[in-house]
Amino acid sequence: MASVPSLAASVNQRVADALSAALPEAGAADPLLRRSDRADFQANGMLALAKKLKGNPRELATQVVERITAPELIKDIEVSGPGFLNITVTDTALVQTLAARAADDRLGVPYAENPGTTVIDYAQPNVAKEMHVGHLRSAVIGDALRHLLDFTGEKTIGRHHIGDWGTQFGMLIQYLIENPGELAPAEDVDGEQAMSNLNRVYKASRAVFDADEEFKERARKRVVALQSGDKETLDLWQRFVDESKVYFYSVFEKLDMEIRDDEIVGESAYNDMMAETARLLEESGVAVRSEGALVVFFDDIKGKDDQPVPLIVQKADGGFGYAASDLSAIRNRVFDLQATTLLYVVDVRQSLHFKMVFETARRAGWLGDEVTAHNMGYGTVLGADGKPFKTRAGETVRLEDLLDEAAQRAAEVVREKAQDLTEEEIQERGAQVGIGAVKYADLSTSANRDYKFDLDQMVSLNGDTSVYIQYAHARIKSILRKAGDAQPVAHAELPLAPAERALGLHIDQFAETVADAAAEYAPHKLTAYLYQLASLYTTFYDQCPVLKADTPAQVENRLFLCDITARTLHKGMSLLGIRTPERL
């Protein structure tokens, strides 16, 4: 089904038609229609166009106005300033457009014109290590982008490139061999126990490793055994992975995020490809031997003393590292998964790594023109002091503690406002509100910027928070419940109050906002939109009685505005991975 055009799109089309009639040599020029404070819309495309064709913008604008006859759509159109058009639409057209929108499950959001396959690399913690606040952003942003892309018809494949390989496993496995029973079987533990077991084993093995030269040597040999695929060693390695997954899943569940097991494809999954990756790069001359290592050089990447910084594909001792696994993963994602876009949601501090990896893959011919590779490098989560977020003792903050605290604070907020909720409901809503608050704060800052983790601000009822939006949504739901027999029905014949028009015109922009947020990987555009929607609803609610409106038709029409607002808020928030409870 073709999606319902927005009112803005219809008006834009009318003006474009008049423009090309007035100025055929301009071809299909875009009038550049925008929402405006002075009227409903402003079109300023005439300015640049007249300048380009050496005409007078005001004259051109006047000719456009003369050619527009659409009384059912446009109530008022006038030339202003150096050649803008100020346009006011009719109330009827606005309500009719919203009614058509309301009849569509997708609320008018179009499918992307050329959907492809995006492999999105996000939520990638490391085995046997605690998840910290840095892992939060990748998970939250990645999950939101995935919802957005899916909704526009893109096929998405998730890849959780967990850190499950490397020399530290020699130490861990050797310790476990010498201290069997230190790690309970994964099926016997919950997330918290799993992590505390892993932490204990990690610390204990580290201590022996640092103190005992002979153990160090045994650990080194164990790395070799692991790399050569020794069965006993691999089985023990698998136990660390399984135990860690129990823990990961418990955190993802807290984050209210669905992670699929078949998409947890960590560094180790590419082991079998590594040697071939290196061989192909060496044979094609993309990588060269330097001091025994196999490396790739770049003209524009230099370090201290202007020395080139290479990407290391294979170390001098023959070992493969992070770069080799990412290069192999690209081959897999492009050739086996048939990706047209590779999206990485990874800390901006790894952007140089990805720059080198992408460039290497391009030179090798693994990334052609038809494949886009992009690292959505995100900024750092800061504490209240503006420095990277740490506990008072200077340790990194455990993600779980943070989420628990958010849920607790939110439960207090919910309890304070709760009228008819049971304690169990308060706790459940507290979790939804608290996790929503954390996600929203993360998503509402554009990803490349740092932001301060400030729980007081995040769960505030006033301001640009998810709580504010969730309350607006719940308030609408409560009105709809109280409406009794009155139904939401659009009445295009009724004149609209200013607050109704402002709300309606904003709802009209939902489809475009979602499409832009998805195409630009910019969830913050959607958060800003939703916050404004909730604010406009609040104004409407203050100024326009709903159930006590003047006439039954007006009650129905206002209920209709309430209903479509609630659906838009709900849909928008769900695309961000945030719940909107029916009652708060």
Judged by the rule CB under 6 A, the positions of this chain that interact with ligand ARG are 121, 124, 126, 161-163, 326, 344, 346
Using the minimum distance from each CB to ligand ARG, give the nearer residue, 243 or 326. 326
Going by the DSSP 8-state scheme, the letter that residue 370 receives in this structure is T
Using the minimum distance from each CB to ligand ARG, give the nearer residue, 37 or 336. 336
Using the minimum distance from each CB to ligand ARG, give the nearer residue, 124 or 565. 124
| Smallest separation (angstroms) from ligand ARG to the CB of 358 | 11
- What's the CA gap between 584 and 574, in Å, rounded? 17
| Smallest separation (angstroms) from ligand ARG to the CB of 162 | 6
The CA distances from residue 248 to 193, 263, 283, in Å, are 12, 13, 40
Three-class SS state of 189: coil
In the numeric block, the tokens 């020395």 are attached to 307
Using the minimum distance from each CB to ligand ARG, give the nearer residue, 169 or 531. 169
- What's the CA gap between 346 and 351, in Å, rounded? 8
Using the minimum distance from each CB to ligand ARG, give the nearer residue, 108 or 158. 158
| Smallest separation (angstroms) from ligand ARG to the CB of 165 | 10
Nearest to 171 by CA among 129, 215, 224, 140: 215
Cβ distance 428 to 407 under 8 Å?
Answer: no
Using the minimum distance from each CB to ligand ARG, give the nearer residue, 290 or 372. 372
| Smallest separation (angstroms) from ligand ARG to the CB of 325 | 7
- What's the CA gap between 148 and 158, in Å, rounded? 13
At 415, which amino acid appears? R
| Smallest separation (angstroms) from ligand ARG to the CB of 299 | 24
| Smallest separation (angstroms) from ligand ARG to the CB of 235 | 23
Cβ distance 80 to 50 under 8 Å?
Answer: no
- What's the CA gap between 406 and 409, in Å, rounded? 5
- What's the CA gap between 580 and 353, in Å, rounded? 38
Nearest to 310 by CA among 249, 373, 243, 355: 355
CA 401 to chain centroid: 23
Q: Which residues pair with 85 in a beta bridge?
A: 43, 79
| Smallest separation (angstroms) from ligand ARG to the CB of 121 | 5
Per-residue tokens: 38: 């002075």
- What's the CA gap between 508 and 173, in Å, rounded? 59
Other beta carbons less than 10 A from residue 579's beta carbon: 20
Using the minimum distance from each CB to ligand ARG, give the nearer residue, 111 or 322. 322
| Smallest separation (angstroms) from ligand ARG to the CB of 9 | 38
- Integer-rounded Cα radius of gyration of the chain: 29
Nearest to 333 by CA among 303, 308, 357: 357
Using the minimum distance from each CB to ligand ARG, give the nearer residue, 31 or 163. 163
* Three-class HEC string of 234-246: HHHHHHHHHHHHH
Per-residue tokens: 503: 């709300």
Cβ distance 383 to 394 under 8 Å?
Answer: no
| Smallest separation (angstroms) from ligand ARG to the CB of 327 | 10
| Smallest separation (angstroms) from ligand ARG to the CB of 346 | 4
Using the minimum distance from each CB to ligand ARG, give the nearer residue, 158 or 488. 158
| Smallest separation (angstroms) from ligand ARG to the CB of 108 | 35
- What's the CA gap between 134 and 156, in Å, rounded? 23
Cβ distance 194 to 186 under 8 Å?
Answer: yes
Using the minimum distance from each CB to ligand ARG, give the nearer residue, 373 or 515. 373
What phi and psi values does residue 142 have, to the nearest 5 degrees? Answer: -60, -45
Using the minimum distance from each CB to ligand ARG, give the nearer residue, 121 or 154. 121
